[in-house]
Amino acid sequence: MSARGVVVIGATSAIARAVAQQFAAGGCAVIVAARDQDENEAIAADLRVRYGVEGHAFAWDAEAFDTHGAFVARCIETLGDRLEGVVLCSGYMAEQKAAQGDWSLARRMIDVNYSASVSVLERFAAHFEVRRSGFLCVVSSVAGDRGRQSNYLYGSTKAALSIWCEGLRNRLYPAGVHVVTVKPGFVDTKMTWGTVPFAASPEAAAKAILKAIDKKKNVVYVPWFWRYIMLIIRHVPEWQFKKMKM
């Protein structure tokens, strides 16, 4: 039986799959959580076969808020004291123009990217705070660093998520619980498929995520150079920024 365990939420994401594999390769028991239960079962089976670790597939639907309490309780019951942390990768990005004219798309981004993340992670946070150990690693986005006309609806949900992480990190610090905010730039997944000419691989993103958890980093950009790209973008004065097509 593995001595350590983690929960990976949004497991069918390419980044999450690579994160789950890298934890399993290190001997961790992994609970993978996703809404596509067939795919999720296949991911868990792959972890068991390839790495010889415990792999559990639990159903997770970000928009089914009334199920989040039972989901968290089941994760805690299954891994017990072995539960070291949670990596949240679920996210939804609708096309900006479509979401401007369709509140249901904008609302889904708010629900999946922000509300559901807060709903599920506040529950894990309460558990870790009482236990006085653990980590929460949250995949946000560089899109939350500045509002741009091309994706401000998605970006604002990630901005809210990043600020929430910041406050949670501040709250949990005295309890020895660490919160890592991950801000990917472009990663080659189905979310960005065909839209970006260059992108990091999910495996490289996962490696950076595990390293950030291990080193107790607060905010990491993935790949690292996005920190400097966003530094420049954040410092363009608003009077000039509003005239730019970004």
Ligand X SMILES: NC(=O)c1ccc[n+]([C@@H]2O[C@H](COP(=O)([O-])OP(=O)(O)OC[C@H]3O[C@@H](n4cnc5c(N)ncnc54)[C@H](OP(=O)(O)O)[C@@H]3O)[C@@H](O)[C@H]2O)c1
Residues that bind ligand X (CB under 6 A): 10, 12-15, 34-36, 60-63, 89-93, 112, 139, 141, 184, 186-187, 189-192
Taking only Cα atoms into account, the Rg of the chain, rounded to an integer number of angstroms, comes to 18
The residue (of 198 and 239) whose beta carbon lies closer to ligand X is 198
Q: Which residues contact 6 (CB under 8 A, 6 or more apart)?
A: 23, 28, 29, 30, 31, 83, 84, 85, 86, 87
Segment (H or E) for 234: helix 226-235
* Least Cβ distance, residue 85 to ligand X (angstroms): 17
The residue (of 17 and 178) whose beta carbon lies closer to ligand X is 17
Strand ranges (DSSP E) for the chain?
5-9, 29-34, 55-59, 83-88, 135-139, 178-184, 219-222
Amino acid at 15: I
* Least Cβ distance, residue 128 to ligand X (angstroms): 21
Cβ-contact 185, 140 below 8 angstroms: no
* Least Cβ distance, residue 239 to ligand X (angstroms): 28
The residue (of 55 and 184) whose beta carbon lies closer to ligand X is 184
* Least Cβ distance, residue 18 to ligand X (angstroms): 9
The residue (of 18 and 177) whose beta carbon lies closer to ligand X is 18
